[in-house]
Structure 1
């Protein structure tokens, strides 16, 4: 009897050891895969612009159009959404605006692309607005047209509210602007905010996130472009794989997690925005609901113009680039007239 129990104990111990070894080997393999993917991604997509010094770090910016001091139709600052980088809006509309005579600056938001995360509280759009305003001041950029897509709807409006001297006008594309139903996860759904949840997410960020993301990145992008299709060459042209690096992936998660609470505080201030504003959104946006955000924002910002594009989804700067560029140019003309 003792011999049988001893054999069972040895078998269980051996099984547990094998399982533990297999898990350790899998974690190690994922860590190695993440490291390799990071190296490959950064080699394929090196810095494309310059870095501007701000307090405690640097912000990366891609520039196009007339240079500093050259005649131009004005300066346009492009601010990308979640899971993106400065090349995304530059590819969509930035180069076209530059060709039309505008000086175009597209920033990597803090922690994205090749910008430093800089501040421990950089998930806040208000903190990112302060850093971008500081970068614009360092570049001697006066009031500029600020174009914010999706997540950066909150950032662009924070710039207009907190740093109005840097904002000549706002062009908000499918902007996130208001708290949305179910956005405050709370309760059991907020498990990831607990200590065990944060630990598990951190482990996932440095192990499985990059390999899984690399394998399914095109499918994730297709969802964002619905109901339109994914443009050929988008992932490579917009340098989307940069989001897979652990530091950037983690920054993206923190930005998204804190957005709802931030908008609860900021949204009552929209009636005090004084910058000329145009809001462009698609009526079938599956990501940022136009009724909750764009329409509500247009009602609250004094004098705001709302353009709702029928049959268009979230990535309107790509699928409706002609209309978006036309609205930005009209905003520039309106600002000059005023």
Structure 2
């Protein structure tokens, strides 16, 4: 009896592995690379580079996406609003989207920041405003610490930058483990994740409504491919210990900084991260938005652009812009159909 049970189990696991491989290839065919591969020293990062326009009124801009994302997530809202105003680099973080992972150093925000710096140098970008959303905020902060000469300013959007109480979601912990993690990533993660793409994205946006085409435009399904899923899990589970070591150094950052965050963010605790940045970075401007969730990049894009302009030195009243954004969100009451949180 035990032999039959084991045989059925082996067949089930093998079937899930094959199905995952086939489905991952379908996802890749649906969301192919849309940029170029930039060699950063033995491995390549996938990026979309928008050259400097003749009439640029802003310095170069580099956009860093968050956990479970890829460059499409930042390019969708920001490229249309900033086209013709600045040189821009939208980049898949190491091991995400279509970027190669590189070495073990890329398991930390600091390592990923250095990889992004090399990609900038390869495109002739000597200095830029760094814009980081969520997990990308930790990378933006590390970039400013390790590459201050390349940092023209910082814009944090619902950032994850400080250690927090508790841990992370169980599936991140499971997928990051040796042996068990790869097995989970190659069998159950993709079919389970596909059932949660729409509802999980809705939770990230709540209380603001998720755009109907968000999943199609930003391709979060790419993170469900086995190796990408593992990379994402390793990043997320390693974030808190990394921030415990690095966040005390934020007082070293001496660059114009703006932080845009919502009081209804259920993914990252704004009173820990955003308020922590405002406390730690001298003269950083914190912009609180009532009734805003975890996606200021998509929900209050114009305000985020005003923050970029302010950091670039333009005369912008961010608090007045925030009041206008709040008025537009006052009647948002979208409900999260589950719990999705970087902080568990």
**TM above 0.5, one fold?**
yes
Counterpart of 1:323 in 2: which secondary structure? helix
CA distance, structure 2, for counterparts of residue 323 and residue 184 of structure 1: 30
What pairs with 1:265-284 in structure 2 (closer than 5 Å)?
A: 265-284=245-264
Q: For residues 51-90 of structure 1, what are the structure 2 equivalents within 5 Å?
A: 51-64=37-50, 67-68=51-52, 70-73=54-57, 74-90=59-75
2:310 to 306, 327, 330: 330
User: How far 1:34 sits from its partner (Å)?
Assistant: 0.7
Q: Which moved more, 1:265-274 or 1:219-228?
A: 219-228
Q: Measured at CA, do residues 60 and 223 of structure 1 come closer, stay the same or move farther in structure 2, by a change above 3 Å? A: same
- 8 Å CA contact retained: 2:53, 2:87: no
DSSP 3-state at the match of 1:122: helix
**Regions of 4+ moved over 6 Å:** 188-191
Looking at structure 1, the residues matched to 255 and 277 of structure 2 have their Cα atoms a distance apart, in angstroms, of 13
Query: Which secondary structure does the structure 2 equivalent of 1:72 belong to?
Result: coil
SS at match of 2:106: coil
**1:5-37 CA-partner distances (Å, limit 9, x unpaired):** xxxxxxxxxx21221121111111111111111
Contact 1:78 1:94 in 2 (8 A): no
- Aligned partner of residue 308 in structure 1, secondary structure: strand
Per-residue deviation, 1:198: 2.8
1:71 to partner: Cα distance: 4.1
2:195 is aligned to 215
SS in 2 for 1:198: coil
Which of 79, 98, 101 is the matching residue for 1:114? 98
Alpha-carbon RMSD: 2.2
Task: Determine whether 1:31 maps to 2:33.
Answer: no
Bigger shift: residues 81-90 or 20-29: 20-29
User: Is 1:18 equivalent to 2:11 in the alignment?
Assistant: no
The structural deviation recorded for 1:288 is 0.7
**TM-score, length of structure 1 as denominator length:** 0.88
Q: How does 1:146-225 map to 2 (within 5 A)?
A: 146-183=130-167, 192=174, 197-225=177-205
Structure 2 counterpart SS, 1:109: coil
SS of the equivalent of 1:222 reads helix
1:148 partner SS = strand
CA contact (8 A) 1:273 1:301 kept: yes
Are the structure 2 counterparts of residues 203 and 225 from structure 1 closer, same or farther at C-alpha, using a change threshold of 3 Å? Answer: same
Q: Deviations over 1:309-334 (max 9, x none)?
A: 11001011111112111111222234
Cα deviation for residue 69 of structure 1 reads 7.2
- Scaled by the length of structure 2, the TM-score of the pair is 0.87
* SS of match in other structure, 1:146: strand
Aligned residues between the structures: 314
| Partner Cα distance (1:148, 1:49) in 2 | 19
Distance 1:210 1:183 in 2: 23
Structure whose alpha-carbon radius of gyration is higher: 1
In structure 1, C-alpha distance between the alignment counterparts of 2:227 and 2:314, rounded to whole Å: 40
Structure 1: which 5+ runs fail to align? 1-14
Deviation at 1:191, TM superposition (A): 7.8
Does structure 1 retain, via aligned residues, the 8 Å contact 2:66–2:134? yes
Q: Distance in 1 between matches of 2:234 and 2:216?
A: 25
Query: What 5-or-longer segments of structure 2 have no aligned partner?
Result: 316-344
